[in-house]
Structure 1
Amino acid sequence: MKHSEEKGKLKLLLEILFISARLGLTSFGGPIAHLGYFHEEYVRKRKWMDERSYSDLVALCQFLPGPASSQVGIGIGVMRGGVPGGILAFIGFTLPSVLALIILALFLQGSSMEGAGWIQGLKIVAVAIVAHAILGMAPKLTPDLKRKSIALFALIITLLWQTAFIQVGVILLAGLIGYIVYKNHADNEKADFIFPISPKLGVICLSLFFGLLVFLPILREMTALNWIAMFDSFYRSGSLVFGGGHVVLPLLEREFVPTGWMDEASFLAGYGATQAVPGPLFTFAAYIGAVISGWKGGLVATVAIFLPAFLLILGALPFWNQIRSNQKMKGALMGVNAAVVGILISAFYHPIWTSAILEPIDFAFAAILFSMLVYFKLPPWIIVVTGALGGTFISML
């Protein structure tokens, strides 16, 4: 009996690794698009979690600093297979782009990939994926006029003032509005979800997160070792960034170019390459680390920049049910979820739409990809391959 249970658990963990790796190989378009891919794979297709749990998890990760899409993926892995499931979900989703960027750092420094037709095709894929996600999530998260109004407010503010601090402020304000408006809202939906993580482990992870944030700069000054300095720079960047991967890129530029760790040309080549590979944009750290200290530096940089995200999501998940089952906090989450819809639509316009739909033929191609995904119900990897090939063809016209 015990042997069959272990075999079943191993099969479950391998399934998590396989599916997350496939997403890591095909999820182009940045953090907002990743949420669309996750929604399609984990909620619509596999039913690993319901719409309510997914939207609440997205809301939680929007509150936390770090790469929101990666934290959502880790959270889903944890809920499915415990801490090992979270680790494997992270490895599967992250490793493909880490390896690609380390290889690019070692062999393609100084080259530019900005004008490649297949990259433009992948940007158009992101348009179809995110549009599908918004159409799936919006009716459930904004079913009444009040929540539609919150979403509209979030859309307008984040579209007109595009900074990470504005986005965090909008989320907090939406939570406050939801808390006030919906504190007595009757909700019969079952909110409980079983987490294979103890509150004790959650407290340890949160303590470790803050401890490293304070201790690493001190250790950096005491030792003057390059490896410690590099780990501290990446850990701090991963800890203090709100707004996802697009925000961390300029932050890393300020951290490593003016200080002489790398030159501007190498940084810009990696910046372009990072936009072209699938998976989280935080893996740009792997490129920078590899430029500075080879493949070992790439791996150290990856661990350092993602470690805060991992500690925060493991620290927050054990207390999630208590938060979301509290009637007043449910109201706050309803407000945040509505704001997330507005932020998704804002990000759908800029940078996704504005960087992808440049000509009428781009819009026509996006409509074809959207139809393939929504109406013909083809798997996302086929959409990605079609997008890359179609983008290459369009660039030759």
Structure 2
Amino acid sequence: MVETWRIFVRFLYLGCVSFGGPAAHIGYFRKEFVEQRRWLNSDQFAANLALCQFLPGPASSQLGFAIGCHRGGLWGGLGAFWGFTLPSFLLMWALASSQQHGLGPLLFESGVVEGLKLLAVAVVADAIWTMGQQFCRRWDTAVIAALTALALWWLTTPLTQLAVLAAAAVLGYLRSEKPNRPVPQVTLPASGKGALLIFALVLLASFVAASSVFSQFYQAGALVFGGGHVVVPLLQSFIGDAVPADQFLLGYAAAQAVPGPMFTLASYLGAVLRPESALTFAAVATAGVFLPGFLLVIALRESWQTLSQRPRIAATVTAVNAAAVGMLVAAWFGPITGHAPAGWWAAGVAVLGFVALRSKRVPVGVLIVGFSLLGWWQF
């Protein structure tokens, strides 16, 4: 337990200072745990990173969990997760709770939220640009992204999203090349088989009890490929009108500003959905959205080196990631821009925000303050 506490403390420190999103988090982890503390070597770090990018869910949080498991077993992984997540969890819960005590109306009436909506337009556009360059380099992946966007523009429901993800996976598998040499067999350890069974059983149970808060966030965590921005259309689809668009976009903007994982948007939404027990349901939603990825890390961590040599697995994941880009495009043209301020002035501000994000020279925190002030002044 002493080692678990040490892991928790180191990740708690990183959870307080790690601004900048998943890419920055990975850089922090490498500097801290490979270069400075030498908890694992470069090859081990690279292998864990590749696995976490392959799996659904938040890659940087899963990487932190994997590092914690490498250092201190399962308890070490849990210590790493809660240390890294706790600061942003508390901040997002506090934001949701404050809306029940007078701050919410003040924010909405002041115009601050309108400014943050414009920032959300720029942030999601930047994510589409970045992910499109990464996952849609070939014509077939570009077609998958386009068809996904059209399908979800036509009908945005959880079932549609499940269908397009499944169709992309099947198409990627069918279009993959057959291996020209025998591939090694994958053997899961007993702990891996147990974690995979739990993942499947909980996912099945979540469809049976689909209306529960935990089920909605567990399904989102199990199905989101491509990182934190892609969880936005999934959560909006699952939650529907239970959270007003203004409140949803405020939480999304706040998730950009706080340190640590962006998936703590779930903490905010859980508290908003059940304000009478805000802290409890913030924890329930957080556990639901992170648990699928962690179970898959436990299941595959020891067998990843063998599994990653299978070309059809890689092709399937490539197609699913392309579909994730299409999901983000549909969200951008739907709820993101649909609820943002309209007009040439608003469009110009959003474009400036996009340019600033692409330049990589303006911190997101500065943009949040700037857009908040612009919204307060203009609206």
* TM-score, structure 2 as length reference: 0.70
Amino acid of the residue matched to residue 296 of structure 2?
A: A
Deviation at 1:371, TM superposition (A): 2.3
Which of 263, 269, 289 matches 1:309? Answer: 289
- 1:77 maps to 64
- 1:108 maps to 102
- Is contact 1:13–1:81 with CA below 8 Å preserved after alignment? no
Task: For residue 338 of structure 2, give the secondary structure of its aligned residue in structure 1.
Answer: helix
Which of 314, 327, 335 matches 2:311? Answer: 327
CA distance in 1, matches of 2:13, 2:148: 37
CA distance in 1, matches of 2:103, 2:120: 26
- Structure 2 residue 213 is matched with structure 1 residue 234: yes
Change (3 A) 1:138 1:184: farther
- Structure 2 residue 285 is matched with structure 1 residue 285: no
Task: For residue 356 of structure 1, give the secondary structure of its aligned residue in structure 2.
Answer: coil
Q: Within 5 A, what are the aligned runs for 1:1-397? A: 12-19=10-17, 22=19, 37-39=21-23, 41-42=24-25, 57=52, 60-61=55-56, 71-72=58-59, 74-82=61-69, 83=77, 84-105=79-100, 107-108=101-102, 111=105, 114-184=108-178, 200=191, 203-204=194-195, 207=198, 210=201, 233-240=212-219, 244-250=234-240, 253=242, 272-277=246-251, 278-279=254-255, 280-281=265-266, 283-291=268-276, 297-317=277-297, 318-319=299-300, 321=304, 323-375=307-359, 377-395=361-379
How many residue pairs get aligned? The number is 323
- Is contact 1:102–1:298 with CA below 8 Å preserved after alignment? yes
Offset from partner CA, 1:277-306 (integer Å, 9 cap, x none): 323155232244442xxxxx2222222233
Deviation at 1:211, TM superposition (A): 6.6
Amino acid of the residue matched to residue 38 of structure 1?
A: P
- Is contact 1:184–1:327 with CA below 8 Å preserved after alignment? yes
Deviation at 1:140, TM superposition (A): 2.1
Query: Which consecutive residues of structure 1, in runs of 5 or more, have no partner in the other structure?
Result: 24-36, 62-67, 187-197, 219-231, 254-266, 292-296
- Is contact 1:16–1:77 with CA below 8 Å preserved after alignment? no
Considering only aligned residues, what root-mean-square deviation do their CA atoms show, in Å?
4.0
Deviation at 1:201, TM superposition (A): 6.6
CA distance in 2, matches of 1:376, 1:315: 34
- Is contact 1:56–1:333 with CA below 8 Å preserved after alignment? no
Query: Which consecutive residues of structure 2, in runs of 5 or more, have no partner in the other structure?
Result: 32-41, 70-76, 181-188, 224-232, 256-264
Amino acid of the residue matched to residue 301 of structure 1?
A: F
Offset from partner CA, 1:84-130 (integer Å, 9 cap, x none): 2222333233221112222332x239958545411111111112222
Amino acid of the residue matched to residue 94 of structure 1?
A: F
Offset from partner CA, 1:24-72 (integer Å, 9 cap, x none): xxxxxxxxxxxxx434x346898789999989856732xxxxxx5xx44
Moved more, 139-148 or 176-185: 176-185
- Is contact 1:57–1:72 with CA below 8 Å preserved after alignment? yes
